[in-house]
Structure 1
């Protein structure tokens, strides 16, 4: 089985916007786009299926971070300072920036054009692999969304995580084919033994 406990990170270079709403400064953008195929470290391709976040959005407390650093909290869903939604395009993010050093830094960096995207951290719940194409294609069906981040340099997860994910999927496919064959052999062996 794939290692579902290891948090994975995916990033997206899309315009991040700020807007003022009274005294509140809000950052808005997309952390994920549905249906876009991404190259994961040259090892496999990946696409996020529509609805991949819907279960998690109903149940999980998701954090908004600066650069995936849990010590640099910008908001969270349970306090209402982070709002997430799936729409036809992808995972929409709105963060009410706090009046903290990090909040002010994020606002300044976006205004200067130094912040170029958003990202999300997740654990896989359900995925599908297509090994009939090269490189293999992974479709993310369902995730536990852990956090979304405002990032200065979006980048996909490192090669070691990508390789482990691919190797786990291959092992699972082999296991699915191997275990039924063993069970069949054991059943045939048992049937033959009972006939004697």
Structure 2
């Protein structure tokens, strides 16, 4: 599986208890909210980034731990939706050790953050500013988590994405062409031609 990036925010998690069903409600991501990713770049999530993925089989976890499942979209115990604010999450908390512990910690205020694990499927970079800005336009969503510390420390994949973006958008290097008449004139070719003319003039002036 592709290595998963993790992002989150410092949003509060609402709690709701109705008809003996305990539900956590919050936002795992907020649209158009700039986040500083380790000083390497600024990142924002565009509205609609989750539109194609929230209907998939997504898990709710505790602290991104795949062994601590507390909900799942396929079973209806996790419900995801996009609104004007961001990715809205509702988790029906199970009567398990993890579920009971999480409910107690949220009620006490010890856990008040949400986060999500994803891989980017569409993005754009703006390198006209420093640090550059990464706009995430579409993702594959794997999980959402209740967390004490929202994660922004997975920078390696993003750095790799930035390098791939640069490689894809940099000018192609000059290549040797056997038919000069068919060769497009490049800036490098003009520079070499000017240098040759200057050299020829200097040689002639010394004779």
TM-score range relative to shorter protein: 0.7 to 0.9
Question: Could you list the runs of 5+ residues in structure 2 that have no partner in the other structure?
Answer: 184-207
- RMSD, aligned α-carbons: 2.2
Runs of 4+ in 1 over 6 A off after TM superposition: none
Q: C-alpha separation between the residues in 1 aligned to 2:88 and 2:66?
A: 21
- Structure with bigger helix share is 1
> Shift in Å at residue 54 of structure 1?
0.1
The total of aligned residue pairs comes to 183
From 55, 59, 65, the counterpart of 1:69: 65
Partner of 2:20: 23
Segments of structure 1 that go 5 or more residues without pairing to the other structure are: none
TM-score (norm: length of structure 2): 0.81
Larger mean CA deviation between 145-154 and 164-173 belongs to 164-173
- After superposition, give the CA deviation of every residue in 1:60-79 in whole Å (9 maximum; x if it has no partner): 21110000000000111111
Task: Tell me the SS of whatever aligns to 2:88.
Answer: strand
Aligned to 2:204: none
Residue 178 of structure 1 corresponds to 172
1:48 maps to which residue?
A: 45
SS of the equivalent of 2:98 reads: helix
Deviation at 1:130, TM superposition (A): 0.5
Of residues 105, 108, 122, the one that matches 2:104 is 108
Residue 157 of structure 1: how far off its partner (Å): 2.8
Structure 1 position 36 matched with structure 2 position 29:
no
Q: Is the 8 A contact 1:52 1:141 kept in 2?
A: yes
Within-5 A mapping of 1:161-172 = 161-172=157-168
* Structure 1 residues 136-193: Cα deviation after superposition (integer angstroms, max 9, x where no partner): 000000000111000011130334334323223222322xx328x76xx76x949749
Counterpart among 89, 112, 134 of residue 138 in structure 1: 134
Deviation at 1:124, TM superposition (A): 0.6
Find the counterpart in structure 1 of residue 9 from structure 2: 12
Q: Counterpart of 2:149 in 1: which secondary structure?
A: coil
Per the normalisation by structure 1, the TM-score is 0.86
Partners in 2 of 1:122 and 1:38 — Cα distance?
Answer: 16
